[in-house]
Amino acid sequence: MLIKKLNVMKKIIYLLLILGFGNLTAQTSFTVTSTDNTKLHIREFGEGDPLILLAGGPGLNADYLKPVWEKLSSKYRCIVIDQRGTGNSTVTTIDSTKMSMENHCNDIEALRKHLQLEKINLAGHSWGAMLAMEYTSNYPEKVQNLILLGPGGPTLKFTTYFFDNMNLRLWEEDLNDIEVMKSKNRGALEMNWVGYFFNRKEALESRSIIDFEALNGQPNAGQYTIGNYFSKGDERVELLKYYKGAVQIIQGRQDPMGESTAYEIKEILPQTQINFIEKCGHFPWLEGESQRDKFYEHLFELMN
């Protein structure tokens, strides 16, 4: 019995390390003021070529990407922006004007200017990849490398299969859990967590120890942001075609975002290189050991 308890404790400690819980103190932190006077909180980790990281959601605090920036910061200068309405970048009013894509892009541009970089390396996960594409469509000459991690699409197309792909992973017990979580007003990420994974065991174990409430930004921040994003799909597609820099996609083969999303991006940006990770869902660094290793291997190769 004692050996079994010790093994469980080792597993929990290992998961905590993989999930990146613990000290989130930045090597450097500072504030950038955007064009509408919103104060944006920025953290830096490591030294080397700069890479700006954009978290998903929209509306999630960036801390869930801690394992990624910790790994990358051994060789690169990782710059993590708390998007407006998340983390320490709070806004006084949450509405369609404040949370517009124009303001989100102005935030990244204000950061670029603050860093005095002529061009930036931009990496985004999920929604963060969508925001990275939006910024690139508006400032194609300011992006050197575009790295998209499990990206949502530049248009509405991926929404026609994303939720079906996710629901296919859910067992009856998961659906029962979702009903219980609904009654407790839990967030969508926690309720659908298992559907994002290929490895069910890893999904259940990680869900049991994640503080999902701590991952949420200000209420309704994501609602206004995503609505504005989808209203500009046709314009975004045409503007993206002016971008001639490098584009790299890293995506789990079983990511509910679907392979079609990656190929839609490649159709718009023919220079895109797609790197699939087998037996892997939406969070490669939280799947099995081989998937994590392959994810970081791809990431370092692309940065090099």
* Predicted confidence band of residue 9 (pLDDT cuts 50, 70, 90): very low
Residue 209: Cβ-neighbour burial (10 angstroms; 0-12, 13-18, 19+): exposed
**Does 188 fall in a domain?**
no
* Predicted confidence band of residue 24 (pLDDT cuts 50, 70, 90): low
CA distance 267 to 271: 9
Cβ neighbours for 63, distance < 8 A, ≥ 6 positions apart: 20, 24, 87, 214, 215
Q: pLDDT, tens digit, for every residue of 58-92?
A: 999 999 999 999 999 999 999 999 999 999 999 99
Q: Is the pLDDT of residue 19 over 60?
A: no
**Does 190 fall in a domain?**
no
CB atoms within 10 A of CB 128: 28
- The 3-state DSSP class for residue 249 equals strand
The number of distinct structural domains making up the chain is 1
Task: State in Å, rounded, how far the first CA of the chain is from the last one.
Answer: 48
**Does 50 fall in a domain?**
yes
Q: Would you state the pLDDT for residue 17?
A: 46
Domain that holds residue 48: 2-158+218-303
Q: Is the pLDDT of residue 255 over 80?
A: yes
Q: pLDDT, tens digit, for every residue of 172-182?
A: 999 999 999 99
CA distance 89 to 161: 32
Q: Is the pLDDT of residue 205 over 70?
A: yes
CA distance 259 to 237: 18
CATH number at residue 258: 3.40.50.1820
CA distance 114 to 304: 25
* Dihedral Cα 73, 79, 84, 88, nearest 10 deg: 60
Q: pLDDT, tens digit, for every residue of 220-254?
A: 989 999 999 999 999 999 999 999 999 999 999 99
* Predicted confidence band of residue 204 (pLDDT cuts 50, 70, 90): very high
**Does 169 fall in a domain?**
no
Residue 93: Cβ-neighbour burial (10 angstroms; 0-12, 13-18, 19+): exposed
Q: Would you state the pLDDT for residue 288?
A: 93
φ and ψ at residue 169, rounded to 5 degrees: -85, -15
**Does 203 fall in a domain?**
no
* Predicted confidence band of residue 304 (pLDDT cuts 50, 70, 90): confident
Residue 304: Cβ-neighbour burial (10 angstroms; 0-12, 13-18, 19+): exposed
**Does 176 fall in a domain?**
no
Average pLDDT taken over every residue of the chain: 92
**Does 13 fall in a domain?**
yes
Percent of the chain with pLDDT over 90: 88
